[in-house]
A and B are shown apart, each in its own frame.
Chain A
Amino acid sequence: GAGVSQSPRYKVAKRGQDVALRCDPISGHVSLFWYQQALGQGPEFLTYFQNEAQLDKSGLPSDRFFAERPEGSVSTLKIQRTQQEDSAVYLCASRRNRLTGGKNTEAFFGQGTRLTVV
């Protein structure tokens, strides 16, 4: 498709279970971002890739969170030993690289994966 695709749309995990969330960015988009959105809050930055390189992971809340983008397209966000506080919507966004001359471009978001840890 033409947009950012995330799967699954909904995930219910038992506390302590590992989960993997997938993001298919827009074809050709160099930059990929993961965000976490808790109920009633704005999206909070988790991590950022440029192609396959993870350039910023400062937003990952703990070492239970791991993200990869091995071939510079599809990305996976993995959460190990899930806790109830991990319950949130996880959003993926992609952005084509800045145009020649430094013009910034907007990020396009997927529909998100709603994770509920019970």
Chain B
Amino acid sequence: DQQVKQNSPSLSVQEGRISILNCDYTNSMFDYFLWYKKYPAEGPTFLISISSIKDKNEDGRFTVFLNKSAKHLSLHIVPSQPGDSAVYFCAASRYGGNTPLVFGKGTRLSVIA
């Protein structure tokens, strides 16, 4: 039973346009959410996070939106750059505790120049 779902395995976007990556979760105990970026042959690197007390968090070109009622979050990348091409993982955990992150299967983003 997948508690964190990324239903789009891949996404192609033109350079300069917006990339929107989506993530859904089923466990209502999750209240801390993260996005990780992964290049081939490297480990995941942290990108941005959001706690359930917020509905938006922004860091430069990256913004994460959280809709708690829908159990849905999304990552917006504006403007998209070729270097953003990677696999993006959504992860969730319980806030404030040292509980493990639960990951989605990832979405492969390709930014086309």
Contacts and interface: CB of A to CB of B under 8 A. Distances in A.
A48 B93 contact: no
B34 interface: yes
Q: Classify chain A: how many residues form its interface, as a range.
A: 20 to 34
Contacts of B104: 42
A41 B98 contact: no
Contacts of A50: 98
B106 A104 contact: no
A111 to B, nearest CB: 5
Interface in A21-57: 30-31, 33, 35, 40-45, 48, 50, 55-56
Contact of B46 (A30, A59, A107): A107
Given A44-B103, A45-B100, A104 B93 contact: yes
B105 A41 contact: yes
Contacts of B100: 33, 45, 48, 56, 59
A38 B12 CA distance: 23
A6 B34 CA distance: 23
B46 A103 contact: no
A93 B32 CA distance: 17
Interface string A79-118: 0000000000001010101100011101111111000000
A103 B31 CA distance: 12
Given A45-B100, A48-B100, 20 more contacts: A6-B43, A30-B98, A33-B101, A40-B105, A42-B89, A42-B106, A43-B44, A45-B101, A48-B98, A91-B44, A93-B101, A98-B98, A103-B96, A104-B32, A104-B51, A107-B101, A109-B36, A109-B44, A111-B42, A112-B42
